[in-house]
Chain A
Amino acid sequence: MAEVHVIGQIMGATGFSESSLFCKWGIHTGAAWKLLSGVREGQTQVDTPQVGDMAYWSHPIDLHFATKGLQGWPRLHLQVWSQDSFGRCQLAGYGFCHVPSSPGTHQLDCPTWRPLGSWREQLARAFVGGGPQLLHGDAIYSGADRYRLHTAAGGTVHLELGLLLRHFDRYGVEC
Chain B
Amino acid sequence: MNPKEEKVKIITEEFDENDEDAGVGGQKKTSKMARQKRKKPVCGAGDPEMVSENPHLGNQPEPLQEDSDTRPLSMTTRRGPRSLPPIPSASRTGFAEFSMRERMREKLQAARSKAESTLLQEIPTPRPRRLQSPGEKELETEFGAEPGEEAQKTQQEDDSQSRSRVKFRDSVRKIKTKPPVPPGFPSAEEAYNFFTFNFDPEPEESEEKPKAKNRDGTTQEEEEGEEEEPPVQGIHKTDEQLLISATEAEAFLWGLDHAAADFVAVRPADYESAHVRLQMEKELLFVPSRLAVPTYKKLPENVQPRYLEDEGLYIGTRPDVPRTCQNIMENRLLTQEPGRRWFGDDGRIVALPNPIKPFPSRPPVLTQEQDFRAELETLYKKAVKYVHRSQHMIGSGDSPGNFQLDIDISGLIFTHHPCFSREHVLAAKLAQLYDQYLARHQRNKAKFLTDKLQALRNAVQTGLNPEKTHKSLDTTQKTINEYKSEIRQTRKLRDAEQEKDRMLLKTIIKVWKEMKSLREFQRFTNTPLKLVLRKEKVDQKADEEAYEAEIQAEISELLEEHMEEHEQKMEAYRAAYQQWKAWKKAQRAKKKKKKQAVEEHPEEEMGEPYPEEDPVKPVPPEPTDRALMEHQVRERAARSRRRPGEPLLVPELSLAGSVTPNEQCPRVEVLRREDVKRRSIYLKVIFNDKEVSRTDSRPLGADFRVHFGQIFNLQIFNWPESLTLQVYETVGHSGTTLLAQVFLPIPETTIVTGRAPIEEVEFSSNQHVTLDHEGVGSGMPFSFEADGSNQLILMTSGKVSNSVAWAIGENGIPLIPPLSQQNIGFRSALKRADAISSIGTSGLTDLKKLAKWAAESKLDPNDPNNAPLMQLISVATSGESYVPDFFRLEQLQQEFNFVSDEELNRSKRFRLLCLRSQEVPEFRNYKQIPAYDREIMEKVFQDYEKRLRDRNVIETKDHIDPHRAMVAKYLQQVRESVINRFLIAKHHFLLSDLIVEEEVPSISILGLSLFKLAEQKRPLRPRRKGRKKVAAQNLSDGDIKVLVNIIRAYDIPVRKPTASKFQQPSRSSRTFSEKHAASPTTHSPTHSADYPLSQVLVRPFVEVSFQRTICHTTTAEGPNPSWNEELELPFRAPNGDYSTSSLQSVKDDVFINIFDEVLYDVLEDDRERGSGIHTRIERHWLGCVKIPFSTIYFQAKIDGTFKIDIPPVLLGYSKERSMIIERGFDSVRSLSEGSYITLFITMEPQLVPGESVREKELVARYVSLIPFLPDTVSFAGICDLWSTSDQFLDLLAGDEEEHAVLLCNYFLSLGKKAWLVMGSAIPEGPTAYVLTREQSHYLIWNPCSGHFYGQFDTFCPLKSVGCLIGPDNIWFNIQRHDSPLRINFDVTKPKLWKPFFSRSLLYPGLSSVQPEELIYQRTDKAAAAELQDRIEKILKEKIMDWRPRHLTRWNRYCTSALRHFLPLLERSRGEDVEDDHRGELLKQLGDYRFSGFPLHMPYSELKPLIEAVYSTGVHNIDVPNVEFALAVYIHPYPKNVLSVWIYVASLIRNR
Contact = CB atoms under 8 A, between A and B. Distances in A.
A140 B399 CA distance: 14
Given A32-B897, A87-B386, A89-B384, A37 B376 contact: no
The range of chain A's interface size is 35 or more
Contacts of B294: none
A24 B375 contact: no
Given A1-B904, A1-B907, A28-B395, A134 B376 contact: yes
Most buried by B among A24, A138, A148: A148
Interface string B366-394: 11100011111111111111100000011
A130 B777 CA distance: 55
B916 interface: yes
A1 B378 contact: no
A171 B384 CA distance: 49
Contacts of A137: 394-397, 399
B811 interface: no
A27 to B, nearest CB: 9
Contact of B379 (A64, A83, A124, A132): A132
A117 B378 contact: yes
Interface stretch (A7-15, A70-78, A154-162): A70-78
Given A134-B376, A139-B376, A1 B896 contact: no
Nearest to B897: A69
A144 B1123 CA distance: 82
A138 B897 contact: no
A146 B393 CA distance: 22
A88 B376 CA distance: 24
A132 B396 CA distance: 18
B851 interface: no
Interface in B888-914: 890, 892-893, 896-901, 903-904, 907, 910, 913-914
Contacts of A135: 374-375, 377-379, 399
Given A90-B383, A132-B381, A149 B376 contact: yes
A37 B907 CA distance: 15
B898 A171 contact: yes
Interface in B330-389: 366-368, 372-386
Contacts of B247: none
A32 B376 contact: no
B917 A128 contact: no
Interface in A81-117: 83-84, 86-91, 115, 117
A102 B1180 CA distance: 74
Nearest to A145: B373
B368 A118 contact: yes
A133 B376 contact: no
Contact of A146 (B376, B890, B892, B897): B376
A38 B898 CA distance: 23
A170 B913 CA distance: 21
Given A36-B913, A149-B378, A41 B395 contact: yes
Contacts of A117: 368, 378, 380
Given A131-B381, A137-B399, A68 B394 contact: no
Most buried by B among A2, A25, A134: A134
Contacts of A77: 394
A115 B394 contact: no
A133 B378 contact: yes
Interface residues of B, number: 41
B916 A121 contact: no
Contact of A68 (B377, B384, B890, B899): B899
Most buried by B among A133, A137, A170: A137
A138 B375 contact: yes
B1348 to A, nearest CB: 54
Contacts of B381: 90-91, 130-133
A152 interface: no
B910 to A, nearest CB: 5
A128 B898 contact: no
A1 B899 contact: yes
A89 B896 CA distance: 43
A24 B393 contact: yes
B914 A37 contact: yes
Contacts of B385: 87-89
Contact of B901 (A68, A83, A146): A68
Contacts of A131: 380-381, 383
B383 A128 contact: yes
A47 to B, nearest CB: 14
Given A133-B399, A138-B375, A30 B383 contact: no
Interface string A10-36: 000000000000001110101110101
Given A128-B383, A132-B380, A144 B394 contact: no
B914 to A, nearest CB: 6
Contact of B393 (A28, A31, A41, A136): A41
A150 B910 CA distance: 44
A138 B399 contact: no
A128 B384 CA distance: 11
A28 B397 CA distance: 12
Contacts of A72: 890
A66 B385 CA distance: 38
Nearest to A124: B380
Interface in B1374-1429: none
Nearest to B904: A68
Nearest to A30: B890
Interface in B399-433: 399
A138 B376 contact: no
B380 A68 contact: no
A66 B376 contact: no
A18 to B, nearest CB: 11
Given A24-B394, A36-B913, A133 B379 contact: yes
A66 B904 CA distance: 8
B394 A130 contact: no
Nearest to B987: A39
A128 B378 contact: no
A131 B900 CA distance: 45
Given A132-B381, A133-B381, A26 B395 contact: yes
A149 B900 CA distance: 39
Given A24-B394, A89-B383, A144-B373, A37 B917 contact: yes
Contacts of A136: 374-377, 397, 399
B380 A145 contact: no
Contacts of B916: 37
A85 to B, nearest CB: 11
Given A24-B394, A41-B394, A88-B385, A148 B373 contact: yes
B755 to A, nearest CB: 27
B243 to A, nearest CB: 69
A37 B910 CA distance: 9
Nearest to A88: B383
A1 B890 CA distance: 19
Contacts of A28: 395
B913 A68 contact: no
A100 to B, nearest CB: 20
A91 B892 CA distance: 37
Contacts of A87: 385-386
Contact of A138 (B379, B397, B910): B397
Contacts of B893: 30-32, 69, 71
25 contacts: A1-B903, A26-B394, A28-B395, A30-B890, A30-B893, A34-B904, A36-B913, A37-B917, A42-B393, A66-B907, A67-B898, A71-B892, A83-B386, A86-B383, A87-B385, A87-B386, A88-B383, A89-B384, A89-B386, A91-B381, A115-B378, A121-B380, A128-B382, A128-B383, A132-B381
Given A24-B394, A32-B897, A133-B378, 5 more contacts: A41-B394, A66-B907, A89-B383, A133-B379, A137-B399
Nearest 10 pairs between A and B by C-beta? A129-B383, A37-B917, A88-B383, A132-B378, A26-B394, A36-B913, A171-B898, A130-B382, A115-B378, A130-B383
Interface of B: 366-368, 372-386, 393-397, 399, 890, 892-893, 896-901, 903-904, 907, 910, 913-914, 916-917
